[in-house]
């Protein structure tokens, strides 16, 4: 293979990249970005990689969840707190069910670039560049808003820093104290029958904690803080490159804009620029795997991405769709096993189950999501592999974007609180219900 450098991807075809009118401004912005301090550290990245290696053999479980796409305008305290609360509550439920360490990873602090299926969008006879996420252009449908603007790269980076700064504060302060899960309650009432189950579980756990502390006569050391990692799709290669650095006393290059970047399904070409960029970084890397992926294609990409077959380095996030997972996944698992490739398997039950309603709204059905997840557990069991985690699009907001669940969101409800600019997310009740169902499945 030819020599790798942070910009060697430029010699390959890069799909899903915006076309900037002002190249000089783009270059100046990227130079500026490359000079700003990193958002994460190499030791956090290495720690996550070790934990993902543990998940690959069933000793830990990955909960990767958050927005489909973050927006610059939504970078405010309430939203960050709400999303962290859901992640914490879900991880509590999962840990209680599976008795394993839960690795919390947010789709956050940089999830600003979106792959799109068309280059342009046409409304009432007017055709403009498609919206590619807040780091590229603006959602509003005007000539000016849809022009890719280099300045947005800096705005996105700054918002990512603001988000991460607040998250870090919450994770070490009283908010994250396991003895006070009441701090993580959401402000709105839940109609879900799962709420009582959650409250009872929390009471019993905190009761035991307080009991143990009383008996031992001292507090548990680490219980006042939790660990949360960040992830985003590494789509915008100039942005990712600007954050790719060497660090003292370690070999190799790190992408210091996030702990865990992933390659989207649309940019998985083994000869393409994304795989070229990702093969050179030390971060744990996610790869989306969908129904059109061929077994040989998958093992080839994995061998390029993980030349040293390092455990924890590659997480294969399969998003097959509930109707395809049983026919497509086993061959992929077999191919990877036959080559002794060390990977962590993770189920994304969202992206293969999207459909458009008769009235033109993009949604997903809770039952399909659950069905794909449960099938993922079964398929891995029968193939002798381990499902090491889940990847979800959700929010702590009370939205109505996905139908179904025990609170019965139906197609007519979708217009009530549909806020996502791209993909539909599970709301709080749906997320918690799913956590309980996964926990029950893992317990069984």
**Binding status of residue 368 toward Co ion by CB under 5 A:** no
**Nearer to ligand PEP by C-beta: 53 or 69?**
69
Shortest Å distance, C-beta 425 to Co ion: 8
Q: How far is the CB of 7 from ligand PEP (least distance, A)?
A: 24
User: Whose Cβ is closer to ligand PEP: residue 279's or residue 319's?
Assistant: 319
| Partner whose footprint covers residue 240, from Co ion, ligand PEP, none (CB < 5 to 8 Å by kind) | none
C-beta of 92: minimal distance to ligand PEP in Å?
25
Alpha carbon 205 to chain centroid, angstroms: 28
423 vs 433 by CB, closer to Co ion? 423
Number of residues engaging Co ion in binding (CB under 5 A): 2
The correct pick among 67, 70, 276, 423 for binding Co ion (CB under 5 A) is 423
- Minimum separation from the CB atom of position 115 to ligand PEP (A): 5
- Considering beta carbons, is residue 236 or 288 the nearer one to ligand PEP? 288
Phi, then psi, of 127 in degrees rounded to 5: -110, 125
288 contact, one of Co ion, ligand PEP, none, CB 5-8 Å limit per kind: ligand PEP
By beta-carbon proximity to Co ion, the closer residue of 325 and 394 is 394
Number of neighbours of residue 184 by Cβ within 10 angstroms: 22
Compute CA 296 distance to the chain's CA centroid, rounded to the nearest angstrom: 26
- φ/ψ of residue 216, rounded to 5: -75, -30
CA 131 – CA 115 distance, rounded (Å): 9
Q: Which residues of 267-299 are buried (b: 16+ CB within 10 A; e: fewer)?
A: bbbbebbbbbbbbbbbbbbbbbbbbebebebbb
Q: Give me the least distance between CB of 21 and ligand PEP, in Å please.
A: 26
Distance of CA 185 to the CA centre of its chain: 23
Contact region for Co ion (CB under 5 A) — 1-9, 76-84, 97-105, 418-426?
418-426
Distances 134 to 71, 224, 295 between C-alpha atoms, Å: 6, 35, 34
| Contacted by 324, from Co ion, ligand PEP, none: CB < 5 to 8 Å by type | none
**Pairing outcome for strands 60-66 and 244-246:** unpaired
- Region at 16 (left for phi over 0; alpha for psi -120 to 50; beta for the rest): left
Q: Which does 115 bind (CB under 5 to 8 A by kind): Co ion, ligand PEP, none?
A: ligand PEP
Query: What minimum distance in Å lies between the beta carbon of 267 and ligand PEP?
Result: 8
Measured at CB, which residue is nearest to ligand PEP?
264
Residue 265 interface partner, choices ligand PEP, Co ion, none, CB cut-off 5-8 Å depending on type: ligand PEP
* Residue 18 touches which member of ligand PEP, Co ion, none, C-beta under 5-8 Å by kind: none
Instruction: Quote the least distance from Cβ 315 to ligand PEP, whole Å.
Output: 13
Whose Cβ is closer to ligand PEP: residue 163's or residue 347's? 347
Q: Return the closest-CA partner of residue 317 out of 282, 341, 352.
A: 352
- What's the min distance (Å) between Cβ of 351 and ligand PEP? 4
* Closer to ligand PEP by Cβ: residue 65 or 281: 65
Q: Which does 264 bind (CB under 5 to 8 A by kind): Co ion, ligand PEP, none?
A: ligand PEP
Which partner in Co ion, ligand PEP, none is near 164 (CB below 5 to 8 A by kind)? none
CB closer to ligand PEP, 45 vs 316: 316
Q: Smallest distance, Å, CB 286 to ligand PEP?
A: 9
- Judged by beta carbon, residue 4 or residue 418, the one nearer Co ion is 418
Site for Co ion in 37-96 (CB under 5 A): 68
Cβ pair 373, 348 in contact under 8 A: no
Report the residue number, 175 or 229, with the smaller CB distance to ligand PEP: 229
Smaller CB separation from ligand PEP, 201 or 387:
387
CB of 255 to ligand PEP, least distance (A): 17
- Rounded least distance, CB 158 to ligand PEP, Å: 22
Determine how β-strand 260-263 pairs with β-strand 253-255: unpaired
Q: Which residues bind ligand PEP (CB under 6 A)?
A: 68, 115, 233, 264-266, 288, 319, 351, 423
Return phi, psi of residue 409, to 5°: -65, 125
- Name the residues that contact Co ion, by CB under 5 A: 68, 423
């Amino acid at each position: 293979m030819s020599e790798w450098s942070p910009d060697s991807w430029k010699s390959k075809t890069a799909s899903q990249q915006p076309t900037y009118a002002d190249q000089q401004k783009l270059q100046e912005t990227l130079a500026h970005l490359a000079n700003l301090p990193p958002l994460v550290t190499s030791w956090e990245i290495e720690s996550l990689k070790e934990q993902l290696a543990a998940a690959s053999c069933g000793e830990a479980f990955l909960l990767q969840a958050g927005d489909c796409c973050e927006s610059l305008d939504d970078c405010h305290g309430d939203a960050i707190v709400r999303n962290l609360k859901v992640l914490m509550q879900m991880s509590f439920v999962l840990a209680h069910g599976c008795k394993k360490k839960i690795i919390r990873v947010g789709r956050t602090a940089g999830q600003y670039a979106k792959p799109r299926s068309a280059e342009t969008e046409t409304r009432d006879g007017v055709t403009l560049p498609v919206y590619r996420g807040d780091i590229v252009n603006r959602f509003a449908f005007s000539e000016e808003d849809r022009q890719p603007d280099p300045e947005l790269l800096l705005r996105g980076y700054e918002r990512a820093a603001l988000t991460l700064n607040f998250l870090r504060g919450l994770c070490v302060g009283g908010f994250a104290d396991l003895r006070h899960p009441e701090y993580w309650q959401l402000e709105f009432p839940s109609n879900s029958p799962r709420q009582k189950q959650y409250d009872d579980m929390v009471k019993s756990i905190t009761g035991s904690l307080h009991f143990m502390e009383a008996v031992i006569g001292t507090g548990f050391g680490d219980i006042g803080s939790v660990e949360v990692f960040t992830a985003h799709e590494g789509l915008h290669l100039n942005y990712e490159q600007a954050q790719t650095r060497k660090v003292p006393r370690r070999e190799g290059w790190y992408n210091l804009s996030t702990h865990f970047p992933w390659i989207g399904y649309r940019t998985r070409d083994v000869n393409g620029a994304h795989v070229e960029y990702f093969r050179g970084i030390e971060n744990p890397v996610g790869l989306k795997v969908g129904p059109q992926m061929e077994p040989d294609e998958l093992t080839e990409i994995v061998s390029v991405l993980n030349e040293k077959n390092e455990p924890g380095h590659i997480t294969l996030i399969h998003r097959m769709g509930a109707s395809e997972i049983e026919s497509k996944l086993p061959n992929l698992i077999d191919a990877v096993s036959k080559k002794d490739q060390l990977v962590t398997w993770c189920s994304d039950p969202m992206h293969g189950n999207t459909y458009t309603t008769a009235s033109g709204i993009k949604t997903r059905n809770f039952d399909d999501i659950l069905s794909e997840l449960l099938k993922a557990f079964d398929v891995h069991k029968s193939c002798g592999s381990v499902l090491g985690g889940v990847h979800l699009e959700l929010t702590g907001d009370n939205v109505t974007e996905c139908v179904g669940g025990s609170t019965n969101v139906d197609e007519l409800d979708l217009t009530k609180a549909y806020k996502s600019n791209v993909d539909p997310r599970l709301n709080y009740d749906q997320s918690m219900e799913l956590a309980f169902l996964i926990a029950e499945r893992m317990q069984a």
